[in-house]
Amino acid sequence: MDTIESPARVVADPPKPESLTRSVREQIEGMILRGEVAAGERLNEAVLAAKLNVSRGPVREATRLLAEAGLVTAIHNRGVFVRQIKLEEVMHIYDVRAGLASVAGRIAARRATKDQVAELRGLWQAMENAIATENSDAYYDLNRDFHTCIVAISNNSRLIDFTAITEREVFLFLRRGATSRPRMSNQQHLDILEAIAAGDEAGAARAFETHIITGKQRMLDTLA
């Protein structure tokens, strides 16, 4: 009589240390940018490890990377704290962002493929839908995706890195839900998009730079 063997048990490979650290870093960063952890608040390593269901090692490494990214500050013998950014500092950051946006817009108009333009158009339409349904959370995420997509078209690693640093610092200051005058903002997104689609380098540079400069005023409006 033939015997029936049990199927072999498939055991999933454990995540590699670097991928686990990256995942933990992204989750903690999301908590900070969403305002779930207040500016100046201490990050409790044990609490975070329990919440994310990991050991304390990946949390420790993740917070080290977040410190390098400028989102947290490590103070000897005291711990790791969410960075506090002052208004004067964020005003300077906006000026830097405007310069980076000008470069990104110019390169995107020169290099964007039809598929990349279509992706930008899809993001713009999704933002229109978010405005229509008053979904500020969706608009917040799509707005970041739109900016990120334009910069990614450049395929310039330094431009991408520098832009990411300034974006994180601004959103660390503002936190989620701080979007002001989204209709004006998205009209400017359309101006940028159309200039990129037309291959108008000067126009795209000017439109993206203007968007960031007027974004500084929109940021101030949220504080009024």
- 50, 66, 82 - which closes a domain: 82
In a domain, 36, yes or no: yes
Domain of residue 192, residue span: 87-223
Q: Are residues 148 and 56 in the same domain?
A: no
In a domain, 12, yes or no: no
- 82, 107, 131 - which closes a domain: 82
In a domain, 192, yes or no: yes
Q: Tens of pLDDT along 91-124?
A: 999 999 999 999 999 999 999 999 999 999 999 9
Q: Are residues 216 and 172 in the same domain?
A: yes
- Quickly list DSSP for 53-116: TS-HHHHHHHHHHHHHTTSEEEETTTEEEE----HHHHHHHHHHHHHHHHHHHHHHHHH--HHH
The pTM for the full model equals 0.76
DSSP code, position 154? T
Q: Tens of pLDDT along 120-134?
A: 999 999 999 999 999
Q: Are residues 172 and 135 in the same domain?
A: yes
